[in-house]
Amino acid sequence: MTVDATRSPEQTDLTVLYASPAAATGAPFVETPTAYDAVLLASFGGPEGQDDVIPFLRNVTRGRGIPDERLEEVATHYRHFGGVSPINAQNRELLAALRDEIARRGLDLPVYWGNRNWAPMLDTAVSEAYADGHRTVLALATSAYSSYSSDRQYREDIARVLGSGDGGTGLGDGDDPMTIDKVRLFFDHPGFVEPFYEGIRDAVTAWLDEGRPAREIRLLFSTHSVPTADAERSGPRDVDFGEGGAYAAQHRAVAAHLVARLHDEVPGAADVDWTLVYQSRSGPPSQPWLEPDVNDVIAGLPGEGITAVAVVPLGFVSDHMEVMWDLDNEAKESAEEAGLAFARTRTPGSHPAYVAGLVDLIEERIHGTPAAERPHVTALGPWFDVSRAGSDENVRLGFRPAAAGIAP
């Protein structure tokens, strides 16, 4: 499927909140050079001690009325690791790598880091950037795919922080406003995809070298499950992406690319098959979420003649808590119970190809690179610089103000 980004939106309101002049036109791709003066690395955040865990989870679930007793059930995952999520340390490593790569290319761009749910918070980072004199900022979120939590919620965060309402800084309003654009979703950028390929290549090659038949090896591409109703609303609303919306379609397209490359480049791997699976669902049993669950699929693999399974955390940019707990613990245990050889392949983390790819995305916007010249490995890309109207709605919350996209 190729997404036609040249179509005119149905509505006439092309408002793009807090956007630079080039992005404020509402065009899907910004092909005009923009003199950004800072980069904002936006992420989820995580606790860094036992006392942080419940306050952090309150931030994650704010507005949903979840009692601390239920939060404590999730807190056990963090407490297993001393109350410390790996994500902040991983972001510090990524931050340093980005700064090094930006300096290596001779770009005069400071990088600020702010989180949605734990210190350093996004509003602090934005305020620091403003105080340092920066007014034209480009945001880079540590999420690659279309969905509410991985795209629109970051854009809502930016709009809230720049606005003058409750909890906002007001720095996007007034006589000397700050603008913040956002790089395109990078699910199929070669720099993001390369570390995943290296992981599946190495796992499959090791099994083939020990004499395991390719037909007995299964690749499970795993990503975070989301409510089915939200998944169906991911991506532009005027495109039919099939079951699971743009969120599932993007994962399927990247997985298919990776397996096709494996078949082409690794001798003897042509019979290795794959499945897209989901993990880490947290909603009530009565609410439909994307399936199948990774553990359920693993349990059924012996009946298909599978003897080895490699779980590929395709939906994650680094080894988040969900990777360490749900895959390295639970999925591994499921594989052991099923009598399967098990591998969990790497995430991009601070892999040089990933870091270079992120800076490539920054340079795309600095130079106004035409969409036709932007690298991508699936027919769905390159994705939009300015989100299309109605993308990634949260069914429960509806549309709230969001930057870097056409309203609503």
Question: How far is the C-alpha of 45 from the C-alpha of 37, rounded, in Å?
Answer: 24
Residue 65 falls inside a structural domain: yes
Question: How far is the C-alpha of 140 from the C-alpha of 181, rounded, in Å?
Answer: 9
User: According to the model, what pLDDT value does residue 249 have?
Assistant: 98
**Is the domain of 234 the same as that of 159?**
no
Distances in Å between the Cα of 400 and the Cα atoms of 41, 122, 167, 227, 393 are: 22, 18, 14, 19, 9
User: According to the model, what pLDDT value does residue 1 have?
Assistant: 61
Residue 202 falls inside a structural domain: yes
Owning domain of residue 138: 23-186+351-373
Backbone angles phi, psi at 30, to 5 degrees: -95, 105
What lies within 8 Å, CB to CB, of 42 at 6+ separation is 114, 115, 116, 122, 139, 140, 141, 142, 154, 157, 158
User: According to the model, what pLDDT value does residue 4 have?
Assistant: 57
What lies within 8 Å, CB to CB, of 145 at 6+ separation is 151, 185, 187, 223, 234, 246, 247, 250, 251, 315
User: According to the model, what pLDDT value does residue 3 have?
Assistant: 65
Question: How far is the C-alpha of 150 from the C-alpha of 142, rounded, in Å?
Answer: 8
**Is the domain of 164 the same as that of 250?**
no
Question: How far is the C-alpha of 174 from the C-alpha of 158, rounded, in Å?
Answer: 16
- Label the pairing between strands 341-344 and 308-312: parallel
Rg over alpha carbons for the chain, rounded to the nearest Å, is 21
User: According to the model, what pLDDT value does residue 341 have?
Assistant: 98
Question: How far is the C-alpha of 158 from the C-alpha of 270, rounded, in Å?
Answer: 45
**Is the domain of 265 the same as that of 355?**
no
Which CATH number fits the domain that encloses residue 171? 3.40.50.1400
**Is the domain of 132 the same as that of 219?**
no
- Splitting the chain (408 residues) into consecutive groups of 10 residues, what average pLDDT does each group show? 50 79 97 98 97 95 89 93 96 98 98 97 98 98 97 98 93 96 98 98 98 98 97 94 98 98 98 98 90 98 98 98 96 98 98 98 98 98 97 94 96
User: According to the model, what pLDDT value does residue 43 have?
Assistant: 98
**Is the domain of 218 the same as that of 275?**
yes
Distances in Å between the Cα of 77 and the Cα atoms of 80, 267, 330, 382 are: 5, 40, 11, 36
User: According to the model, what pLDDT value does residue 8 have?
Assistant: 39
**Is the domain of 95 the same as that of 63?**
yes
User: According to the model, what pLDDT value does residue 274 have?
Assistant: 98
Reported as half-sphere exposure (CB side, CA atoms, 13 A), residue 143 has a value of 22
Instruction: Of 304, 294, 299, 296, give the one whose Cα is nearest residue 339.
Output: 299
User: According to the model, what pLDDT value does residue 6 have?
Assistant: 45
**Is the domain of 157 the same as that of 203?**
no
Reported as half-sphere exposure (CB side, CA atoms, 13 A), residue 116 has a value of 24
Global pTM reads: 0.95
Place of tokens 């490539």: 360
Domain count across the chain: 2
Residue 255 falls inside a structural domain: yes
**Is the domain of 359 the same as that of 261?**
no
